Amino acid sequence: MNDLQFSLLVIGATIIGGVCLYNWVQERSVRKRLDRAFANAHDDALLEGAPESADNGRIEPQLPPAAKGAPGARAESGPEGAVAAARASRSSTSAELDPELDFVAEIAAGEPVAPAVLEELLSKVADCGRPVRALGLNPDTGMWEELARGGPARYARLRLGLQLVNRSGSADAAQLSMFCDAARACAGKVAGSAACSDVQEALRTAHELDGFCSSVDVAIGINIVAREDARFPGARIREVAEAAGFMLEPDGAFHFRDARRRTLFVLDNQEPAPFLPGEIKSLATRGITLTLDVPRVADGAGALDRMVDIGRELAVALGGALVDDNRVALSEAGIARIGQQLGSIHAALAARGIAAGGERALRLFS
């Protein structure tokens, strides 16, 4: 190999490496924006759930499985405030923990647990770093209901559930141990007893469930890009997005919600800068992205059709082109394949007893 051939080989390898690095940086940026954009949807869907934020996967029209997010990237849920009050108000039905999603601890006391002891317990289990639900057995109705901090001492029996899996990953042995220790410490202060689920069995369940969730954690994204060297002005993006039914929200993305205020898909900047209300007028971008979080949307096929239709309308209004991440125009055949793969993901979720867009899905994919 002569010097010229060697030099060409080095240059080629450098170019390929640069392209790979650029693609990695771009995908990481989009994944962060996706989970931030869907963060506010969880409360609306459940009227009681936890917010979300993680470095989650966004898969473009090829639809391979997305990677799960990094630990600590989302806000945790807690059994307090309006969340707990909303659940406790449903006196006609008994609140329940989910044995497939929750690691359970039960506390039995001889008399109602004092508010100060309950407050300490709830603070300790919140420190475990996982979403937690706390229930008390209502002595008047004989039904389990969500606990609210600051309420009167009325519960002599408590149930706590630590969520085993979400987009931050699965619970580990240290978290389960800390959770059980908190329950036992509370029982010791009220001359009661505490019983916890089997830790090793819970860890096996969490690991298996986390693997399944990773395999179906998919988001569909389509892009609208400016032609040649043009850019889309932020003010114009906001105008056409709101005309199409989107609302710009504090997370920096436009949300398209259904009649129940659940996010069906979002419109985000293809570039790193979010669409912040105070800055969008001075912003300009080469492209925008429409994203559908597959496990969190019940009518995936309908939402996909709506997203594609709106994407076409936005492309015309902005004078751009509707493309995939390879800047290839979306064809009807390609969109049909995406729909088929989306249906397969929803079927896999249903077979596991996790309805897309249902409470279980919204908890797991948060």
| Full set of structural domains in the chain with CATH | 31-67+217-364 (3.30.1400.10), 81-213 (3.30.70.260)
Closest CA to 270 of 314, 213, 206, 215: 314
- pLDDT (0 to 100) of residue 236: 98
Cα(48)–Cα(39) distance, integer angstroms: 14
Bridge partners of residue 245, in order along the sequence: none
- From 77, 56, 85, 87, select the one nearest 218 (Cα to Cα): 56
Nearest to 240 by CA among 320, 301, 327: 320
Neighbours of 228 (CB within 10 A): 4
Query: Within 10 Å of residue 334's Cβ, how many Cβ atoms?
Result: 15
CA-angle at 311, arms to 308 and 315, nearest 5°:
145
pLDDT score of 15:
63
Residue 292 parent element (H or E) = strand 287-293
Residue 2 has pLDDT above 90, yes or no: no
Which of 279, 272, 222 lies closest to 250, judged by CA? 279
Between CA 307 and CA 61 the distance in angstroms is: 13
pLDDT in tens, 52-111: 333 334 343 434 333 333 333 333 334 343 333 343 343 334 689 999 999 999 999 999
* Average pLDDT of the residues in 331-354: 95
Task: List all residues 6 or more positions away from 278 whose beta carbon is below 8 Å from its beta carbon.
Answer: none
Alpha carbon of 21 to those of 7, 15, 114, 152: distances in Å? 21, 10, 57, 57
- Please report which confidence band the pLDDT of residue 21 belongs to, taking 50, 70 and 90 as the band edges: low
Alpha-carbon gap, residue 58 to 66, rounded angstroms:
6
Model-level pTM? Answer: 0.74
Strands laid side by side in the 254-257 sheet: 247-248, 254-257, 263-269, 287-293, 219-225, 321-323
Residue 327 binned pLDDT confidence (cut-offs 50, 70, 90):
confident
Residue 153: per-residue pLDDT: 86
Average pLDDT over residues 191-211: 97
